[in-house]
Amino acid sequence: MSSILQSPTTAPGRFGPYGGRYVPETLMVPLFELERAYEIAKSDASFQSQLQSLLKNFAGRPTPLQFASRLTAHLGGLAPTGSGPRIYLKREDLLHTGAHKINNAIGQGLLALKMGKPRIVAETGAGQHGVASATIAAHLGLECVVYMGTEDMARQALNVARMRLLGAQVVAVDSGSRTLKDAINEAMRDWVTNVRTTHYLLGSVLGAHPYPTMVRDFQSIIGREAREQILAAEKRLPTHLFACVGGGSNAIGLFHAFLHDADVKMVGIEAGGRGNALGEHAARLAAAQGYTGARPGVLQGTYTYVLQNSDGQIATTHSISAGLDYPAIGPEHAWLADQRRAKYSAVSDSAALDAARLLARIEGIIPALESAHAIAGLIERRAQFTRDDLVILNLSGRGDKDMDTYSRLL
């Protein structure tokens, strides 16, 4: 297959114009240190052996690629005269801790050891990255502090309890919107203060270089496995990839192995919230659907699409899903959108809830609210598929953490 993707600029940490390193001077040294450590680790046989061992024996990789027969039938893809696609689910929800976040946490936890940093700080929205960070910290003997907005702590109380049981200190953040953006702010303040002893275990493809590249690399095992598994199962590549997009680590983790396969369409699903107006959603790249407020800008160390008001102030966001409730998107996703290599759209809170109930009842899988957005995006496109289409959807996390929301609203 030919590639339709132009190469990004050769500057480290840049994806076209996006990315970069926009941080206070005090953080430049630890970022350079992290970049050097990661570059060495990539070719360090001992590091790679530890990483692969933990991914297999601690996290539980490889994850299955499950043929979703009843979802396929529901969307018209099994009958002899059916017009729908064949659908496979990449089951990241079956990993230890319940989501894809553990892939990156293991990699960065090992880097913290390599750099001689006995303490890690992390941010979390839905709580899954916080749980993954606390888990690997306990396993490796590191001190762990997790910053979490009080709004997210209220709707993700189970994950707060899990982090504390694992020995992490969970620090409540009551500033701003009291969600993921504010938790990142506080984690970065901690890092600035304690750079000599502390590694910031950032959870998504956000922030200053090398984080967007490094986190993508740790998550790209999702797409490498999926590519091998779909070729074994179907003897061909998929026609479509679907994933939810908050910061975007699970999506880029799936997409990366297929970027140069021009016939593989990639679809990222954002949080459409409860309306199109600024403050009612967290959709950065879905302007075609009427979602307002996103334009390029700098937030928390990187240049990307950011939801902001007419004065350039960072906008408040809303999503029923804590993991998608963030005003910016990973810089590589911004570049893929500009290149038209991936398409991004948004679905509403209510559509995500309906999709979660559907998957639970026809496949026996309760998805995380984040993953339910991807399912809803797939369902909303049912009329666009043909019987020759083959879909991989990244089921990035399980729904245990969202049962309070499901029980109240469903």
Give the residue numbers annotated as catalytic, written as ranges.
Answer: 101, 123, 396
Helix axes 369-380, 349-363, angle to 10 degrees: 90
Q: Are 148 and 170 in contact (CB under 8 A)?
A: yes
What is the C-alpha to C-alpha distance for residues 410 and 356, in angstroms, rounded to an integer?
10
Q: Where are the beta strands (DSSP E) in 197-309?
A: 198-200, 240-244, 265-273, 294-299, 302-307
Q: Are 349 and 369 in contact (CB under 8 A)?
A: no
What is the C-alpha to C-alpha distance for residues 192 and 24, in angstroms, rounded to an integer?
9
* DSSP character at residue 205: S
Count Cβ neighbours within 10 Å for each residue of 96-115 and write b for 16 or more, e otherwise.
bbbbbbbbbbbbbbbbbbbe
* Size (the chain), residues: 410
Which residues have C-beta within 8 Å of that of residue 47, sequence separation ≥ 6? 41, 110, 114
Which residues have C-beta within 8 Å of that of residue 267, sequence separation ≥ 6? 240, 241, 242, 243, 342, 343, 344, 345, 377, 381
CA atoms within 13 A on the CB side of 68: 30
